Amino acid sequence: MRTDTLPPADAVVRTAPADSRSATARVRSQLPLWALVAIALVAGACHTTPAPETAARHAALGKELLDAGRPQPAIEELSRAIEIEPTALTFYHRGNARFLLEQHHGAVLDYTRALQKEPALAEAYWNRSVARREIGEIDGVISDCTRVITLRPDHARAFYARAIARAERGRVREAVADITRVIELEPGQTNAYFDRATMRLRIGEYDDAADDYTRAIEAAPDDFEARIGRARSYLYRGDLEPAMDDIASAIELRPELRWVYLNKALAQLRADETGRALRECENALRTDPEFADAFYVRALVREARDEPDDAITDYSIALRYDPDHRASKRRLAEHSRQ
């Protein structure tokens, strides 16, 4: 080996500087642009990230569970959606779920929150009125139904519910007007005729009440209560014969009901048919031997037949079975003063 070709020991050796980049970086620097783009696309396809927690996703799942008849898990999903982003519809759907679970106070609260965000949501007012009915908030039912009607003047159910609530509050004439609107909107709603008849009976509109009961009977000939109601209408306006016919028809429909016999006995007493009235009292007592009102009516009949001792006995028996029977107490007091 030739040593004269080697550099002296103290000579400076010049070398290329070391490349500090990683091997991957050095490779990438030598690749064309199209290759780098392809690598990036492949890497993106292979790397997946979990779906973000979104209010819409929880709300949609909650609605699906609610529609499937699973209110409890629906409430859980809808509550998650509300935590992320509370909306009127989410509160509304959670109110529906709570109503199905008979959580009526909670349902009212959710419907109220929905209405705070969307005051024109008519169905929230309607559903809140139904929930309020369940917890006895009658005035709330009236106000909610009124809001529904303002937003949707053709909402027959709201008119109907407001009519029933108004009648309970003693606002019977307003209730009659509401039921009349129901019939205008839905002429086939035969129950409305029965309810309007009952309301008209309360305010002394006996002719109109009888007409409405007749419409109810035409729609359902076996309607026992409609026949009794029409009989009462006839009695109050003094038509005894048709009243007794209706009572007889009602007895054929449900002979086990004791009050039917007493109504017939009272009708016959007014017609001075005391013998037949006594027989109807006996029919009533056969259904219930301790029926205080039957003894009271029989006592009235015996007074009409000029049988005061037997009448006093019946009044006394009525008080034995019902010590608070005021009418019998009053009649006995009158007899004691004679």
For the chain, the domains span 255-338
- In this prediction, residue 13 has a pLDDT band, given cuts at 50, 70 and 90, of very low
Q: Which of 125, 175, 186 is nearest to 150 (CA)?
A: 125
Burial environment of residue 272 by CB neighbours within 10 A (0 to 12, 13 to 18, 19 or more): exposed
Max Cα distance, the chain (Å): 164
Pairwise CA distance, residues 122 & 42, whole Å: 52
Q: What is the pLDDT of residues 290-324, one digit of tens each?
A: 999 999 999 999 999 999 999 999 999 999 999 99
Q: Give the pLDDT confidence score for residue 70 in this predicted structure.
A: 96
Q: What angle do CA 215, 219, 223 make, to 5 degrees?
A: 90
Q: What is the pLDDT of residues 213-264, one digit of tens each?
A: 999 999 999 999 999 999 999 999 999 889 988 988 888 888 777 888 899 9
Among the ranges given (63-67, 167-171, 295-299, 332-336), the one the predictor scored with the smallest mean pLDDT: 332-336
Q: Give the pLDDT confidence score for residue 15 in this predicted structure.
A: 40
Q: Give the pLDDT confidence score for residue 40 in this predicted structure.
A: 52
Tokens (6 digits) for 49: 């990230």
Q: Give the pLDDT confidence score for residue 322 in this predicted structure.
A: 95
For residue 30, pLDDT over 60 is answered with no
Among the ranges given (146-155, 239-248, 272-281), the one the predictor scored with the smallest mean pLDDT: 239-248
Q: What is the pLDDT of residues 66-94, one digit of tens each?
A: 999 999 999 999 999 999 999 999 999 99
HEC letters along the chain? CCHHHCCCCCCCCCCCCCCCCCHHHHHHHCCCHHHHHHHHHHHHHHCCCCCCCCHHHHHHHHHHHHHCCCHHHHHHHHHHHHHHCCCHHHHHHHHHHHHHCCCHHHHHHHHHHHHHHCCCCHHHHHHHHHHHHHCCCHHHHHHHHHHHHHHCCCCHHHHHHHHHHHHHCCCHHHHHHHHHHHHHHCCCCHHHHHHHHHHHHHCCCHHHHHHHHHHHHHHCCCCHHHHHHHHHHHHHCCCHHHHHHHHHHHHHHCCCCHHHHHHHHHHHHHCCCHHHHHHHHHHHHHHCCCCHHHHHHHHHHHHHCCCHHHHHHHHHHHHHHCCCCHHHHHHHHHHHHC
Q: What angle do CA 222, 223, 229 make, to 5 degrees?
A: 135
Tell which wins on pLDDT, 51 or 303. Answer: 303
Architecture of domain 255-338: Alpha Horseshoe (1.25)
Is residue 152 within 8 Å of residue 126, measured between CB atoms? Answer: no
The rounded percent of the chain whose pLDDT value lies above 90 is: 73
Pairwise CA distance, residues 327 & 263, whole Å: 16
Q: Give the pLDDT confidence score for residue 3 in this predicted structure.
A: 41
Torsion of CA 229, 231, 233, 239, to 10 degrees: 170
For residue 189, pLDDT over 80 is answered with yes
CA distances from 199 to 1, 48, 173, 216 (A): 131, 68, 8, 14
Q: Give the pLDDT confidence score for residue 43 in this predicted structure.
A: 52
Q: What is the pLDDT of residues 87-120, one digit of tens each?
A: 999 999 999 999 999 999 999 999 999 999 999 9
**Average pLDDT estimate for 150-160:** 97
Length of the chain: 338
Q: What angle do CA 24, 30, 33 make, to 5 degrees?
A: 100
Q: What is the pLDDT of residues 111-147, one digit of tens each?
A: 999 999 999 999 999 999 999 999 999 999 999 999 9
Q: Is 238 left (phi over 0), alpha (psi -120 to 50) or beta?
A: left
For residue 23, pLDDT over 50 is answered with no
Question: Which amino acid, 224?
Answer: F
**Average pLDDT estimate for 194-209:** 97
- In this prediction, residue 6 has a pLDDT band, given cuts at 50, 70 and 90, of very low
Q: Which of 90, 98, 87 is nearest to 62 (CA)?
A: 90
